[in-house]
Amino acid sequence: MSDASQKEKLRQHFARRVTTQARVVLDTWQKIHTNKGSFTAHREELRSATDKLVRYAQRFEMAGHVKTGKTILGIIRVWPADTPLDDTTERKLQDAIDALARSTLRRTDQSCTEAPHQFRRTPVYIALASADMANRLIRQLEFFGFRASAFDSAGELTEACALHKPETILMDVNFGGSPNAGIATIENLQARHDTPIPIIFMSDEDGTIQTRLRASRCGGEEFFYPAVDPGQLIEKIETYTHSNSVEPYRVLVLDDSRAQAKFMETVLKRAGMTAHIITDPMEIIDALDMFSPEIIILDMYMPGCTGMEIARVIRQQDRLHSVPIIYLSAEDDVTKQLHAMSLGGDDFLTKPIDPKHLIATLHNRGRRARSLLALMIRDSLTGLYNHTHTLHLLDQEIGRARQKNQPLCFAMIDIDYFKRVNDTFGHPIGDRVLRSLSMFLKQRLRKTDHIGRYGGEEFAIILPNTRPGDARDVLNEIRERFSELQQPAGDREFNVTFSCGIAAWNNGSSQNLCERADRALYTSKEHNRNCVTLADN
């Protein structure tokens, strides 16, 4: 190899390092942007990632990345560490992030009009004995917004992981040609990382308990034997990616002591939670309506009322029955503690509060509360909101749209010829089509949009602060992309399309909005399906 070609290969290698670090910055901003309250928790993470980007880019003479990175650092530097993100600063950061995203587009993206956000993810690495299977998976993963790379040898995979730790690895247990060679490769890889990489193992030949145990011990989260089709694998890959990162818990604290309340706020924010503090018990109803807490912390003894009385008032509201209530008090009489918990409380912490004990309690209670709530409001097959909760959310969004004088759109989607899919390929494949569409919608719509399974093969989407034309453009682009997705069914593949009807809120009721969207959907069905229709006002 000539000196010139060696230098070019080295330059390309280092350019990939800069691009990889830029995507780390973009991913960190995504976490902040989807929840402004997390800015203080992720501020240092964003600053550190951007600083590393600037140092890499300066070393490899990538001026565009240097300039943009310095702009981001300058904005962060003048913003106080413990201060929430305001609209002006957010706009400045978003402009700089957009410039970085444009600089980070891959060559194949340059002519693409699609937003680059779907390529900001950390990559998924694929190490399979079958190159055809690996390439097929990569094509499918790209439809769902993943960046995936396949490898031919353990050495290439190890080198890639050293350059950039992947979100997950799909590994054949015999990758490399000899029995359990893939597991041995993963054992070596995991030893090089402080935190383990989630691994999805596959095997066509070996499903013994010995092999499964060894795979589990080196970070194997899943073990498929015999191997499964791409649809099931993509669902599992989605489970172990950062796109499913846990949203911060919303914690409401009522304590009449301002010093204690400030201490609680500091502890909760440092733990990455979103805290809302009140010191007047008479403000509790407004705080519940405005903040919609997932966990409530109440001081036991306050002027004018007790925490137990407040808990009873809270429990009188059906929507708050499952919200955990934790009492705080210097009371160490176990009998009184148990009596307090019998009046609506779920836990009791004794002052002075140990921050580690508090955070552990909140995480345990919050996890369980979310699990119970999901069982009540989510569809078990797709994980989307169920019919009843979707309509509840629609009423809420109509209230917000009326209060803020903002546009609102409601869309209904129906999979075309879904009965034919079930009759031809069977109900398990039909269920997988429903899950693939739900995943497709979740990945391509905003965090602020609400997606529900309306019933059967029908889906409903609530699009707050969205004009009708924008809603039509977004859903039409999703429709086109989804129609290109190959749905696997054993050794066969097929395509599925959907029809869509959209209605813009016109100050009417939620029932009126649903009826207009439904009529627009019916119009799409009449026009040969696979299209989007916007209802007249």
Half-sphere exposure of 106 (CA within 13 A, CB side): 12
HSE on the CB side for 437, CA within 13 Å?
29
What confidence score (pLDDT) does residue 278 get?
A: 92
d(CA 347, CA 220): 35
Tens place of pLDDT for every residue, the chain, 537 residues?
Answer: 455 554 455 555 556 677 777 877 887 777 676 565 556 667 788 888 888 888 888 876 788 888 888 888 888 888 776 677 777 777 788 888 877 876 665 333 333 333 333 334 568 899 988 888 888 888 778 777 777 888 988 888 988 888 778 888 999 999 988 889 999 999 999 888 777 888 999 998 888 999 999 999 998 988 988 766 666 777 777 777 655 456 789 999 999 888 888 888 899 988 889 999 999 999 999 999 888 899 999 988 888 888 888 888 888 888 888 899 998 877 677 777 677 777 677 888 887 888 888 898 898 888 888 888 888 888 888 889 999 999 999 998 999 899 889 999 999 999 999 999 999 999 989 998 998 899 889 878 888 899 999 989 999 999 999 999 999 999 998 999 899 888 888 778 899 999 999 999 999 999 999 999 999 999 999 988 999 999 987
What does the domain layout of the chain look like in residue ranges?
Answer: 11-110, 124-244, 250-376, 387-534
Strand partners for 222 = 200
β-pair type (498-504, 408-415): antiparallel
Identical fold for domains 124-244 and 250-376, yes or no, is yes
pLDDT for res 110: 37
Phi/psi-derived region of residue 245, left when phi > 0, alpha when psi is between -120 and 50, beta in every other case: beta
Other Cβ atoms closer than 10 A to 61: 12
Whole-number Å distance between alpha carbons of 145 and 443: 7
Is the peptide bond between 84 and the residue preceding it cis, with omega within 30 degrees of 0? no
Q: Which CATH number, 1.20.120, 3.30.230, 1.20.1070, 3.30.1360, labels domain 11-110? A: 1.20.120
- Interatomic CA distance for residues 161 and 475, integer angstroms: 36
Residue with tokens 């129609």: 483
Predicted model pTM: 0.60
Structure tokens at 280: 């007047």
Specify the CATH number of the domain 387-534: 3.30.70.270
Show contacts of 215-224: CB within 8 Å, 24+ apart.
215/173, 215/183, 215/186, 218/183, 218/186, 218/187, 218/190, 219/186, 219/190, 220/186, 221/168, 224/200
By annotation, the residues acting in catalysis are: 457
Cis ω for the linkage preceding 464 (within 30 of 0): no
- Angle of helix 154-163 relative to helix 3-33, nearest 10 degrees, comes to 60
How many angstroms separate the CA atoms of 230 and 488, rounded? 7
3-state secondary structure 191-242: CCCCCCCCEEEECCCCCCHHHHHHHHHCCEEEEECCCCCHHHHHHHHHHCCH
314-321 long-range contacts, Cβ below 8 Å, gap at least 24?
314/284, 314/288, 314/344, 315/344, 317/288, 320/288
Amino acid letter, 49: A
Residue 423's region, left for phi above 0, alpha for psi from -120 to 50, else beta, is alpha
State the Cα–Cα distance between residues 172 and 228, nearest whole angstrom.
12
User: What is the β-pairing status of strands 498-504 and 492-494?
Assistant: unpaired
CATH T-level assignment (fold) for domain 250-376: Rossmann fold (3.40.50)
Domain 124-244: top CATH class: alpha beta
Q: Give dist(CA 492, CA 70) in Å, integer.
A: 51
Q: Please state, in angstroms and rounded to a whole number, the distance separating the CA atoms of residues 67 and 160.
A: 27
- Contact between 57 and 18 under an 8 Å Cβ cutoff? The reply is yes
For the four alpha carbons of 406, 93, 46 and 83, in that order, the dihedral sign comes to negative
pLDDT value at residue 34? 58
Tallying the residues shown for the chain, one arrives at 537
- Using CA atoms of 166, 57, 60, 11 in order, give the dihedral in degrees to the nearest 10: 40
